[in-house]
Structure 1
Amino acid sequence: MNNQYILLPASPLFIAFSLIVAFVLNLMPWGQMVGVPDFVALALVFWNIHQPRKVGISVAFMMGLLMDVNEATLLGENALAYTLLSYFAIMIHRRVLWFPLRTQALHVLPLMLLAQAVQLVIQLLVTGKSPDWFYFSESVVSALLWPVVSVLLLAPQRRAVDRDENRPI
């Protein structure tokens, strides 16, 4: 498979649709399943890396507030975590795009761990409860899903505007 391709501009409607789908996936009643990733955080990191001018820190803040209301957590907990996550993703977006997908996943892992660590510190300060040993497995699963998410979310941008048998792009 040839990795040299020209991407079409990302549609704002597709970006909004993907964030809505990620939000709906977070709404699903997964229960106490170990390693279910934060789909909103994963989608935000993806769009912050690939489209930092279209999906910025303000979008992350608003999605964080929506997740705070959904999870009935301390208002601003997810908003702070998503805002920091987006800030650092935007900071490294140029560097990350130079690497293959597996190496990109290694760059995404610390970002996801940071977001979870922020949430953990806030929960410890407010409730005093410490989570189980598998708390950070969510970040590991998110990093493992990075190649799949990248392929799925870049697929609409890879198609040619005018199909032509003589032109490979």
Structure 2
Amino acid sequence: MKTCGGATKLERKTVEKNRRLYMKSLCFKLSSLVPKDQYTISKDTLTQEDQLDQATSYIKKLRERIERLKKEKEMALSSQRLDTTTGRVLSSFRLPVIEVRHSDSSLEVFIVSGLSKGFIFHDVLSVLEEEGAEAINASFSIVGDKIFCSIHSQAISSRIGFEAPRVRERLKQLVL
């Protein structure tokens, strides 16, 4: 079977063009997965190479965070001990645990507290509303002697935004 030299050349050009388009779409997809707050300058002004560098940097940060969290988990598990009278695992981590995560216009709040230091769930929601957040999803449960609270919220106005450290401090005052 004979092929014309021009047809083979045209086919290679088409294959190469499709490969470049595919790589470009993959780079765009990777760039879209990196949160805006991780970019030092506007995403629109970065070259594709700069966006890949930013994505690489973000992935390295995530890996470091995973390793740090694994170590913290191992330390927490190694510090647990068994109460011989009740057979329950006692943990030495200090309560309350308050974690506030902020990304773009969303805010996630996780609280773990002891029953003796109980708090009113409604008060937590009020603090978030006062700080400009609207609860999208919230859960509250009591397991053993601990209270678990998880709230996913969104900024009421995108212009206002959140001050995550301030929210954390207010919640800390409320729960302590």
Q: Please classify the TM superposition score into its range, dividing by the shorter chain length.
A: under 0.3
- Structure number with the bigger relative contact order (C-alpha 8 A, sep ≥ 6) is 1
User: More helix by proportion, 1 or 2?
Assistant: 1
Structure 2 length-normalised TM: 0.22
Structure 1 length-normalised TM: 0.23
Q: For the pair shown, which has the larger CA radius of gyration, 1 or 2? A: 2
